[in-house]
């Protein structure tokens, strides 16, 4: 369990470093294999966490394995105001890899493009835990999201008009 806690702490630190560095702010769509994955790998290793890349497990190739026990699957999503809801397929995929190493905690990290400035959550809202996909193996899936393509902060007001929670831009002219 201490490996899982260390992995969660390292992932939160990686999200913080990525946010502070503005890594994907101007990116139209980061490449999963050559953009998102190396940045996560390097940030995680910088915390002292053991990170393996591209291991063959369960008939496929994993993205990252943390501390030899936690499989991390990375995804790059299109524009959405609800990135966590887009992760079902990735949940099933990471489940297959985790089964191969007999683990019941697995991670999914997704980069997504927020629809508006209002859909960029604070760091504390970019992580959640849920029952593993299908609920068939009493596992826990920890999900992390990283926004991309949101533009520079000085232009935030141009993207801020949105009706909270519906995902559609406010065209009424009211603020």
Do residues 143 and 107 make contact, with C-beta atoms less than 8 angstroms apart? yes
- Give the tens place of pLDDT for each residue, 117-138: 888 888 889 999 988 766 667 7
Q: Give me the pLDDT at residue 174, please.
A: 39
Q: Is-contact 145 37, C-beta < 8 A?
A: no
Question: What are the structural domains of the chain?
Answer: 2-159 (3.40.91)
Question: Do the Cβ atoms of 13 and 42 come closer than 8 Å?
Answer: no
- In 3D, which of 136, 120, 54, 50 has the Cα closest to residue 81? 120
* 106 contacts 100 by C-beta, under 8 angstroms: no
**How far is 59 from 148, CA to CA, in rounded Å?**
31
| Mean pLDDT value across residues 45-68 | 82
The answer to whether residue 145 scores a pLDDT higher than 70 is yes
CA 71 distance to own-chain centroid:
13
Please tell me the pTM assigned to this model.
0.82
Neighbours of 142 (CB within 10 A): 19
Centre a 10 Å sphere on the Cβ of residue 165 and count the other Cβ atoms it contains. 10
Is 120 strand, coil or helix? Answer: coil
Angle between helices 37-46 and 2-21 (to 10 degrees): 120
Going from the C-alpha of 85 to that of each of 18, 91, 106, 130, 152, the distances in angstroms are 22, 11, 17, 12, 26
Higher-confidence residue of 39 and 54: namely 39
13/117: higher pLDDT: 13
Query: How confident is the model at residue 119, as a pLDDT?
Result: 81
């Amino acid at each position: 369990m201490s490996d899982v806690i260390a992995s969660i702490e390292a992932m939160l630190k990686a999200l913080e470093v990525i946010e502070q560095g503005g890594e994907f702010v101007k990116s139209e769509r980061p490449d999963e294999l050559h953009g998102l994955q190396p940045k996560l790998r390097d940030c995680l290793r910088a915390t002292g966490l053991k990170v393996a890349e591209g291991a063959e497990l369960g008939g496929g190739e994993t993205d990252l394995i943390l501390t030899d026990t936690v499989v991390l699957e990375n995804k790059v999503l299109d524009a959405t105001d609800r990135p966590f809801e887009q992760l079902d397929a990735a949940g099933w995929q990471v489940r297959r890899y985790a089964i191969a190493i007999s683990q019941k905690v697995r991670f999914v990290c997704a980069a997504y493009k927020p629809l508006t400035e209002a859909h960029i959550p604070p760091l504390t809202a970019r992580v959640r835990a849920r029952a593993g996909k299908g609920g068939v193996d009493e596992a826990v899936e920890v999900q992390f999201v990283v926004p991309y393509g949101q533009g520079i902060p000085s232009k935030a007001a141009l993207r801020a008009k949105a009706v909270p929670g519906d995902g559609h831009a406010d065209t009424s002219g009211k603020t």
